[in-house]
Structure 1
Amino acid sequence: MKQHSLEFNMTKFLVLFFFNNMFFIFYKFLFFFPDFLNVQRKSFRNFIKNDFIFEFSKIKKIVNSKKLNLKFLYENFKFLSPIFNIEESILLSKTYCSNFYIPVISQINRLKYIFNYFSNSTELKWILVGTLPLLTRRGHFIINGTIRIVINQILRSPGLYVYKERRKNENTKRLYYADLISQRGAWLRVEIDKDKKLWLSTKSESRIPFFEFLKNIGFKQKFIIEYFSIDLIDIKTKKKKSLKNNKFLYQTFFNPLTYSLGFIGRKRLNNKFDLLISPKVLKLTPLDFLAIGDYLIQLTNNLGSFDDIDHLKNRRIRTIGDLILNQFQQGLIRFRNLVFGKQIKKNKKINLNNLLDFQPINSAFRELFVGSQLSQFLDQTNPLAELTHKRRFSALGSGGVNRETAGFEIRGIHPTHYGRICPIETPEGHNAGLVNSITMTTQINDDGFLETPYRLIYKSQIQDHKNPLFLTAEYEESRLIVLSDIPVCKFKFLKNKNLPILFNQDFQKFKVKEINFISVSSLQYISLATALIPFIEHDDANRALMGSNMQRQAIPLISLEQPLITTYAAKCLLQNSKVIPICKRSGFIIYSSNKKISCYSFLNFYKFQCRNSFLIKIFLNKSINFRKKNYSNIKTTLKKKKTILKIEI
């Protein structure tokens, strides 16, 4: 009876608490700041589950001169548990990694000269493909006993970018050119001169007549004249030079093994020119060149628009998973070329372990984690320095910009950075503006573009009961957005009739009924280190930059004191740093220290402990009274128990 009455009282308490605080629960805690280390974990998890299998599916079968036939059963790959755990890897100066295996079916064809027939020998064996360093729970790697991280990289997204040539003499006709950037492969440029002649060029090749190149890739001369409305004289060029260069370009840009636009590059090309090419076709097609030439000719008639390279819709983030995937692709290409060069002797016994040498994959991983500019030693001065180092991204590195030649346009603040990249926190010196931090609420979508949250506004009322929407910079351009610090009435209606609105990268005044979105919080425009500064709106921007950088240099104290003035970001920092014990269940705190937290949970009626040890012995012999205002007293008595909880850290 006592147990049933206790359960009834607890249920009554929870129901009353829920209905009396419904407004507080649904409206105040609907949006939480995301996990600050989710960027690393999400990208690394996506690489292991999806990208790893997809890359092996490209080379699922290799045939070597009709003698060696290899088939990879890539869907059955297996990762083994690490030999050393995290603590042992640091103490023994080892790498915290995992070996991954894949089953391979090999079929070798030999010609028997005595009996004059073919004999096939088939073998199935698990082969060690390579060793992959693993990401820890705190978002870093352990390489040879040292803690390292791979920071994210921001660079131009694959696709086509159209520019206007800057000329000193304004009386001359303007020249336009289009740069085609790929995910893997050579760089290509198509340009038009003042006589409306199109040229195609690369870094290694000189200018080639564009119309002659179209003829060599399959278009007829009559079709080119009718499509571009040009004369026959414009097509006649020197054939020897153009044919030689076009043969080189055909092997370079139409070969899927050496050139790839990527899914993002193909998607952007289709959207820009309204093409219906399949997203699975990652190489260039003749229709792409036809659309590029037509777009450049339309620019001479004042039709079309130019691209802003600093706009965040044209720049994407290469996360840890993308960087590891890039190295894995290079390793697989080297391995494939190595297998093609293997020679099989007539009567010698074949050993698959000696034949399939996956050392190029391990060397490709080593180039990233040891020799890359993006792989750095983790800054462990304090928890803030550790967390901000992991949320940083750089424009340097392979495929990025050069620090010596980078100008003010790349280093400056673009209007699309608003809500996505912190305008304050950046290093001082040569890396100023090239190394930045993402804001507190920024997320990275599957394509690598930055998103920031907004709440929907319907008929000048804020829709707090709906989840916030994460918008990219491209989608945000055509929307009317208002800041969150405007006056709002009790029923969430906007008070003022005319408000300053962010529209088309500028602040303008619009009527309330035309507004589409409102920002979630005033903290979504600055980074974590900047949000720790109290009353930052009263500081000069240069002083705030110094303050955000100097906080990372503070040494932790032995005897701690609670600050008199703090911000909400301090709580988020402690929760996401993973350096203190955190109770993952709600309830009443019985005991807490810097090593463990004892919590009594209402919902599950059991003692929950969180402690940094492998085995915990708990002895309970207490009577606990809970009292809530306006509710009946709830008295529970815990009998003597002896329990052992085993917690895996």
Structure 2
Amino acid sequence: MFAKSRVINRQYFGKDIQNFMEIPNLIDIQLSSYESFLQKEKLDNNEPLENKGLQEVFTSTFPIVSPDGNMSLEYEFYQLEEDNIKFSELECKQKGLTYSVPLKARINLNFKDSGAILQKDIYMGDIPLMTDRGTFVINGAERVVVSQIHRSPGVIFNHEKGVYSSRIIPYHGSWLEFEIDQKKELIYAKIDRKKKVLGTIFLRALGYSTREEIIRCFYKTENVKVDPKNKDSLVDRVLASAVKIKDENGEEKVLFRAGEKLHPHEVDDLITQNVKEICVILFDARKRKGDKEEFNPSLDSQIIINCFEREDMKYTKEGAFNEEPTLEDALSAVFTVLKPGEPMAAEVAKNELEGMFFNIRHYDLGRVGRYKLNKKFENYSDPVDTLTLVKSDIINTMRHLIKVYIGNELLDDIDHLGNRRIRSVG
């Protein structure tokens, strides 16, 4: 005896989604991404290719120049030989093969001395083709490349284990990090997570040779008159430029260096030496009337000045530096950390450091990374096509990190989806 089944009447109160919204093409991301990579439609229509995807791979690799500079391999274009596809999509499934198309690139071998050019279409291999369903046929099986969420290139400001830090993350290349020592209030630089180098030493290795140059990257300055009447107002001010006087022989000598704090007896020396005016740092983060740099106010922090004092304490004691670290001294300090035990000539070290961050062959922020850097620092003067770092990016990163430390800017949330990007098949 079976129990009688009861029919349950269900009432649908929802709206049919097709009545008010058209269902999108759910595989369009896969199809458009791979089309952007191959640019197949433009190849079929003989249109010029954009510098992205496979085209960007070739243009970033070539030209390849011989060590003596006499010969070079130059890339001209690539082509997909669809007429030479051996098997159809269905046949590949049946025979356990990969559905692909031959890829050829036209390469020129140039001889600089003779001017001769050898041209040849080189077979680079077979590249898989995507089906209309957004899939690939690999060894007879239909496969799908799943989109992934990656950490986005750009700059991140973080606070972890009591350390304020920033990381410039490229699409490919060396990671550049900065961190602040809270106890001593010093800023350090780290390359590829190696040992840290004093921030001002790293800037000197990049070509900022004097204290005055470094100070003007971080602070606003003002000229003040030296007068016995305003003596008290000069105490504890920090010099933005060196104070120079002439000795008995008429030769110029430095009385006080940039970055030095004026104490009462030093103010007396200025008055005694008949110094009329000095340039001092304006420690004020507020935007003043008439300021043109709306996003670049002065820092209300002495971290950079503390780094100058640390230079004096460390390097003068070791006898490595005299008054200020030179470019050679700074490069030596950086590469002692990067490549310990490998002595390197100053010119070679300079070229290697510049190539590490300013050469597209070794460093690439990607368009996403460049956009995020420009947006973070409200600096749209660097075009989106500038895919390497520029020196202003490094200065802005250090400035912003110090602002985060003193509470003028906010930290970033690493797990926020705004700091992630979707890496699709193309």
TM-score range, shorter chain: 0.5 to 0.7
Structure 2: how far apart are the matches of 1:243 and 1:184?
Answer: 21
TM-aligned CA distance change 1:44 to 1:197, over 3 Å: same
The answer as to 2:94 corresponding to 1:91 is yes
Structure 1 residues 409-451: Cα deviation after superposition (integer angstroms, max 9, x where no partner): xxxxxxxxxxxxxxxxxxxxxxxxxxxxxxxxxxxxxxxxxxx
Q: CA deviation at 1:245?
A: 4.1
The answer as to 2:414 corresponding to 1:309 is yes
Which residue matches 2:309? 233
Structure 2: how far apart are the matches of 1:150 and 1:293?
Answer: 39
TM-aligned CA distance change 1:245 to 1:283, over 3 Å: farther
TM-aligned CA distance change 1:77 to 1:60, over 3 Å: farther
Q: CA deviation at 1:256?
A: 1.8
Q: CA deviation at 1:30?
A: 5.9
8 Å contact kept, 2:107–2:120: yes
The answer as to 2:108 corresponding to 1:105 is yes
Which residue matches 1:41? 31
Q: Which of 47, 63, 70 pairs up with 2:73?
A: 70
The answer as to 2:124 corresponding to 1:129 is yes
The residue identity in structure 2 corresponding to 1:242 is: V
Output aligned runs, 1:202-241, within 5 Å: 202-203=191-192, 205-219=194-208, 220-226=210-216, 227-228=218-219, 230-231=304-305, 232-236=308-312, 237-238=314-315, 239=329, 240-241=332-333
Q: CA deviation at 1:53?
A: 2.3
TM-aligned CA distance change 1:28 to 1:37, over 3 Å: closer
Q: Which of 291, 299, 302 pairs up with 2:404?
A: 299
Q: Which of 146, 154, 172 pairs up with 1:184?
A: 172
TM-aligned CA distance change 1:319 to 1:77, over 3 Å: same
Structure 1: how far apart are the matches of 2:359 and 2:117?
Answer: 32
8 Å contact kept, 2:404–2:411: no
Structure 1 residues 545-600: Cα deviation after superposition (integer angstroms, max 9, x where no partner): xxxxxxxxxxxxxxxxxxxxxxxxxxxxxxxxxxxxxxxxxxxxxxxxxxxxxxxx
TM-aligned CA distance change 1:269 to 1:251, over 3 Å: same
Q: CA deviation at 1:234?
A: 3.6
Which residue matches 2:392? 287
Which residue matches 2:324? none
TM-aligned CA distance change 1:127 to 1:134, over 3 Å: same
Output aligned runs, 1:310-459, within 5 Å: 310-321=415-426
Q: CA deviation at 1:106?
A: 2.5
Q: CA deviation at 1:184?
A: 0.6
Structure 1: how far apart are the matches of 2:336 and 2:195?
Answer: 12
Structure 2: how far apart are the matches of 1:106 and 1:310?
Answer: 48
TM-aligned CA distance change 1:91 to 1:312, over 3 Å: same
What SS class does the counterpart of residue 144 from structure 2 fall into? strand
Which residue matches 1:549? none
Q: CA deviation at 1:315?
A: 0.8
Q: Which of 152, 172, 188 pairs up with 1:199?
A: 188
The residue identity in structure 1 corresponding to 2:110 is: Q
How many percent identity over aligned positions?
28
Structure 2: how far apart are the matches of 1:119 and 1:314?
Answer: 52
8 Å contact kept, 1:200–1:209: yes
8 Å contact kept, 2:60–2:361: no
TM-aligned CA distance change 1:128 to 1:273, over 3 Å: same
Structure 2: how far apart are the matches of 1:187 and 1:251?
Answer: 13
Runs of 4+ in 1 over 6 A off after TM superposition: none
The answer as to 2:377 corresponding to 1:273 is yes
The residue identity in structure 2 corresponding to 1:196 is: E
8 Å contact kept, 2:155–2:166: yes
8 Å contact kept, 1:80–1:100: no
Structure 1: how far apart are the matches of 2:202 and 2:61?
Answer: 31
Structure 1 residues 200-240: Cα deviation after superposition (integer angstroms, max 9, x where no partner): 11345201111111011011321223435543314444454
Q: Where does structure 1 lack aligned partners over 5 or more consecutive residues?
A: 1-26, 110-117, 168-174, 322-649
TM-aligned CA distance change 1:249 to 1:66, over 3 Å: closer
Structure 1: how far apart are the matches of 2:335 and 2:309?
Answer: 18
Structure 1: how far apart are the matches of 2:18 and 2:131?
Answer: 33
Which residue matches 2:272? none
Structure 2: how far apart are the matches of 1:28 and 1:96?
Answer: 35
Q: CA deviation at 1:188?
A: 2.5
Q: CA deviation at 1:29?
A: 5.0
8 Å contact kept, 2:179–2:189: yes
Q: CA deviation at 1:297?
A: 1.5
Structure 1 residues 493-539: Cα deviation after superposition (integer angstroms, max 9, x where no partner): xxxxxxxxxxxxxxxxxxxxxxxxxxxxxxxxxxxxxxxxxxxxxxx
Q: Which stretch shifts more, 248-257 or 275-284?
A: 248-257
Which residue matches 2:141? 146
The residue identity in structure 2 corresponding to 1:58 is: S
Q: CA deviation at 1:159?
A: 0.8
After superposition, the CA RMSD in angstroms is 2.6
Q: CA deviation at 1:71?
A: 2.8
Structure 1 residues 292-331: Cα deviation after superposition (integer angstroms, max 9, x where no partner): 111122123211011111211111110000xxxxxxxxxx
Q: Which of 77, 80, 83 pairs up with 2:82?
A: 80
TM-score (norm 2): 0.60
What SS class does the counterpart of residue 287 from structure 1 fall into? helix
Q: CA deviation at 1:67?
A: 3.9
What SS class does the counterpart of residue 43 from structure 1 fall into? helix
Where relative contact order (Cα < 8 A, 6+ residues apart) is larger, the structure is 2
Q: Where does structure 2 lack aligned partners over 5 or more consecutive residues?
A: 1-16, 40-49, 220-301, 316-328, 339-348
Which residue matches 2:359? 255
8 Å contact kept, 1:216–1:243: no
Which residue matches 1:242? 334
Structure 1: how far apart are the matches of 2:74 and 2:403?
Answer: 50
Structure 1 residues 445-479: Cα deviation after superposition (integer angstroms, max 9, x where no partner): xxxxxxxxxxxxxxxxxxxxxxxxxxxxxxxxxxx
